[in-house]
Chain A
Amino acid sequence: ETGVTQTPRHLVMGMTNKKSLKCEQHLGHNAMYWYKQSAKKPLELMFVYSLEERVENNSVPSRFSPECPNSSHLFLHLHTLQPEDSALYLCASSQDLGVRTQYFGPGTRLTVL
C-alpha cells in the first residue's frame, strides 16, 4: 500500500459515455499527478497539480478534464473518448513539486470500445 488509492480499478466505456476516475492520497502531500501508460509506450505525464492549482498540462486533448477539489483528491473526467485512449491511467502524489519521491496508485485500466 502506497497511501494512494484509485477507483475504479477497471473501466469499460463506449465512445459516447462520460465517466470519471478518482484518486485519493492519504499522505498529506501537496502535489498530485495524472499519468497515462499505453501498451508498449513509456509513462506519459498528463497533468500536475500543486495545492489544487494546475501547473502542468502536457498537451492533453480536451476530452480529458482534470479536477482537484482539495489537496487529497484528484479526478479525471472523461468524455467522448477514442479507442486509442485505452490505457492504464495512474495517479501519483508527492510532498511538493521539488525533487521528491512520487507515490503511485494502483491505476485504472481503461478500455474504450
Chain B
Amino acid sequence: KNEVEQSPQNLTAQEGEFITINCSYSVGISALHWLQQHPGGGIVSLFMLSSGKKKHGRLIATINIQEKHSSLHITASHPRDSAVYICAAPNYGGSQGNLIFGKGTKLSVKP
C-alpha cells in the first residue's frame, strides 16, 4: 500500500505570498494527482502529472519521480485560493483508479 504524506497540515499566508505545499509517497507511481477542496466539500482536480512540471494560471505542480516527491506552488496568492489541497497517488497493487489520498493541507490566505 502506498503511503502519502503532505506538509504542512495547515498554512496561513498573506495575500500575494508565494505558497509551497509538499507531498511525498512511498511506492513508485505512474502519476500523481493534486486536488482542491473548498469549504462546501466540492473537489476539483488541479493536476495529474507523471514527470517534470505543469502550470495552470498561478498554480504550478512539480514532481521528482526518483525522490518520490511532488510540490504544489501558488504564486501571488489570493484569498480565493483558501481551500484544502490534497495530493493522491495510485494504491500499490490496485487499479490506477484506486487512489490513496494525503490528509490535505488547509490553506488560508488573508487579505
Number of chain A residues whose Cβ lies closer than 8 Å to a Cβ of chain B:
29
Query: In the bound complex, what is the Cα–Cα distance between A107 and B97 (angstroms)?
Result: 19
Asked whether B30 is an interface residue with its Cβ less than 8 Å from the other chain, the reply is yes
Query: In the bound complex, what is the Cα–Cα distance between A55 and B31 (angstroms)?
Result: 20
A94-B97 CB under 8 A given contacts A42-B104, A99-B31, A99-B50: yes
A103-B45 CB under 8 A given contacts A45-B98, A97-B96: yes
Query: In the bound complex, what is the Cα–Cα distance between A99 and B51 (angstroms)?
Result: 13
Asked whether A65 is an interface residue with its Cβ less than 8 Å from the other chain, the reply is no
* Interface range on chain B (Cβ under 8 Å from partner): 20 to 34
Q: Which B residues touch A106, using CB under 8 A? A: 40-42
Query: Chain A contact residues: over half helix, strand or loop, or mixed?
Result: strand
Give the A-B contact count at a CB cut-off of 8 A. Answer: 71
Q: Which A residues touch B57, using CB under 8 A? A: none
Q: Which B residues touch A88, using CB under 8 A? A: 41
Whether B98 lies near A102 (C-beta < 8 A) is no
Whether B42 lies near A33 (C-beta < 8 A) is no
Q: Which A residues touch B42, using CB under 8 A? A: 2, 104, 106-107
Selected from B31, B45, B50, the residue in CB contact (under 8 A) with A104 is B45
Asked whether A109 is an interface residue with its Cβ less than 8 Å from the other chain, the reply is yes
Q: Which B residues touch A55, using CB under 8 A? A: 95
User: What are 21 A-B contacts with C-beta separation under 8 Å?
Assistant: A41-B103, A42-B100, A42-B104, A43-B101, A45-B99, A48-B97, A50-B95, A56-B94, A56-B98, A58-B98, A88-B41, A90-B41, A90-B43, A97-B96, A99-B30, A99-B31, A99-B90, A100-B48, A101-B33, A104-B45, A107-B43
Interface residues of B (CB under 8 A from A): 4, 30-31, 33, 35, 40-45, 48, 50, 86, 88, 90-91, 94-104
